[in-house]
Amino acid sequence: MQVEATIESNRFPPGDLAIWVFILAELAAFAAFFGAYAFTRMKNVELFNHYQSTLDSDAALINTFALITSSYFVVRAVASIREDDSRGCVRWLMAALTMGALFLVVKGHEYVHHIEAGIRLSTNTFYMFYLSLTFFHFMHVIMGMVILAAVAVKASKGGYNDREHTGVETGASYWHMVDLVWLILFPLVYIMR
């Protein structure tokens, strides 16, 4: 009986199945965006290469480190709650939120710099893609942080334990999706030429 239950549980990803349908829809939208960027670049290679070199790759490195590390912290949060360690779960989630906040600060600083330089969506095709792609992702980071914060609050009140922690896994899955998208966005927009 327990073996059957284990096999059944291994047929579905961690967390609420509804979040996975949402994640797939989000990933499809980003895939279309990435494809559009790559094929538009084909007709404007020199323009894309030139303006790509004006971006702050140091900031992008910090942000990539921040998101990968936040995802790692979220993995540790899930592991903690599976061991019935609510306090550990909350600590790891707070650490992940701190990394998320670092991402927002660094990316926000980049946006301020662009705005001060007079860069807008209409400046050129490269910046249209760069600003819209990164801002679309930026909004997903904020959404992910709101979800993780809600999970942390519930965990701090003892709302999860080693038997029932679907909410933690659901929030974690969404956050990993945010990280996953950035892992493609970073080299595509900042590095590949």
Q: Which is it for the CA torsion 55, 30, 187, 108, positive or negative?
A: positive
Cβ count near 142 (within 10 Å): 13
Contacts with other proteins, residue ranges (CB under 8 A):
7, 10-14, 20, 24, 27-28, 30-31, 34-35, 38-39, 41-42, 45, 49, 53, 57, 60-61, 64-65, 68-69, 71-72, 74-76, 79, 172-173, 176, 179-180, 183-184, 186-188, 190-193
Measured CA to CA, the distance from residue 193 to residue 45 in angstroms comes to 8
Q: Is 42 exposed, middle or buried (0-12, 13-18, 19+ CB in 10 A)?
A: exposed
Closer residue to other proteins (CB): 9 or 122: 9
Closer residue to other proteins (CB): 54 or 120: 54
Measured CA to CA, the distance from residue 34 to residue 13 in angstroms comes to 25
- 144 near 178, Cβ under 8 Å? yes
Q: How far is the CB of 22 from other proteins (least distance, A)?
A: 12
Q: How far is the CB of 173 from other proteins (least distance, A)?
A: 6
Q: How far is the CB of 34 from other proteins (least distance, A)?
A: 4
Closer residue to other proteins (CB): 29 or 142: 29
